[in-house]
Amino acid sequence: MPVSVPGRRAGPVTALAPAVCQHVGVTMSETSPRLPDACASGRAPAPLRIGPLVVPTPVELAPMAGVTNASFRRLCREMAEAALPESLRPSCPGPLPTPDGGLQAPAGLYVTEMVTTRALVERNERTLAMVRTDPAERVRSIQLYGVDPTTVGAAVRILVEEDLADHIDLNFGCPVPKVTRKGGGAALPWKRDLLAAILTEAVRASEAAVRAVGRARQVPVTMKMRLGIDEEHETFLDAARAAENAGIAAVALHARSARQHYSGQARWEEIARLKEATDLPVLGNGDVWLGDDAVRMMEATGCDGVVVGRGCQGRPWLFADIVAAMHGSPMRTRPDLDAVIEVIRRHGRMLAEEMGEDRGVRDLRKHVGWYLKGYPVGGAARADLMGIRSLDELDAGLARMRSRLPEVVDYPGDIVEGPRGRAGSPKTPRLPDGWLDSPTLDAAHREMLSQAESDVSGG
């Protein structure tokens, strides 16, 4: 089916989501965007169902190394929940059981940074810290990266038996050379037998662990993937069939190949192909920069939900806009500089509470650059803020920056509503020698895969 890539754009408004009013004193405002009929009529999408999980607003924060820690997940979720219709807005933090024993995530799923199964099984201290989630989270979603069925199964058992997760996602979409050159990430689905073995073992391990410890509900396993290695070596349709056979609960597709990395446009028409080819819930990923893009993707492809990655870097309020758009509200978030400054300050304090002031402030630096994209603050102010070492220095640096600018610095518009982060250009995927010779795993590649989880984010 023909699918159009998102057009531009909604009209400008000011301020931030009501969620954040309690923290930064700003609100959403109304605009008149060009919305698909379903959204404009106020009809919400069907809730996404992943095993016992019910997601009335079918959006997911993609795992991003060094970004989606507990503080950022909380910031995104709080803003999203404040934009919910009153009937869906939670009144208290923490899990929200459904009448049939499931769990509800009214404003979407917010997934941890990817961790390696080997590091988890070896009880790596940093990895264990990364899978300890915020008690206020609605659904504890953990993403695993692994290349060995036995190790993946052992990691899944840890998460289930030790009650660390309500949802486990498996990563087969990473295009980073240090991962693909060892046969992992987006390279792995080419080996159909290995992929099937990993998926089957992960589901089996989750179900067995639930029975072993008597957990009240199943812990569904999902997978994220890309189109394939390149245009001549697509894997996503075969991978979806393997997922369905293994009992995977849902699949997410980043509609780019490993060769594309993050360049060019996501091929939404391939999300539509996947939806037509499988009975599993399908989430689409790629080029969702605004709330209305999420609605357009679902309308154009028929997918059951959307996954958001780079679009929310420096823009956690994107989830408020997606919630509003999906539920037919005209409210959108277009913050002026003062509103953004308050979010930066709050984000810094959340990070300091999570990981200590020194580490938290260092972690914030990259976010500051994203937050200020498009605002005319000047290179000197940006450089000044990149050197902050404490919350006091953060406050002082923001004050200096603000004092040099006009009284009102409005939302900059389209300049901040497109691609964020490093898009780059297409890159020939780094693969093990002979990897594409056969879709089944040979002895040499099996031995090589034993080293594939070393030097990968998450341990």
- With contact defined as beta carbons under 8 Å apart, do 271 and 297 qualify? yes
Helix (H, G, I), strand (E, B) or coil at 70: helix
- With contact defined as beta carbons under 8 Å apart, do 343 and 411 qualify? no
Q: Is 174 a catalytic residue?
A: yes
In eight-state DSSP terms, residue 218 is -
Omega cis (within 30) before 9:
yes
- What stretches of 214-355 show up as alpha helix (H) in DSSP? 236-246, 268-277, 291-301, 318-326, 337-355
Q: Largest Cα–Cα distance of the chain, in whole Å? A: 67
- With contact defined as beta carbons under 8 Å apart, do 90 and 108 qualify? no
Residue 414 burial (10 A CB sphere; 0-12, 13-18, 19+): exposed
- With contact defined as beta carbons under 8 Å apart, do 254 and 285 qualify? yes
The residues with which 254 forms a beta bridge, in sequence order, are 226, 285
- The torsion of the CA quartet 164, 165, 168, 171, rounded to 10 degrees, works out to -50
| Given the residues 39, 174, 303, 312, the one annotated as active site | 174
Q: What is the chain's Cα-based Rg?
A: 21
| Residues annotated as part of the active site | 174
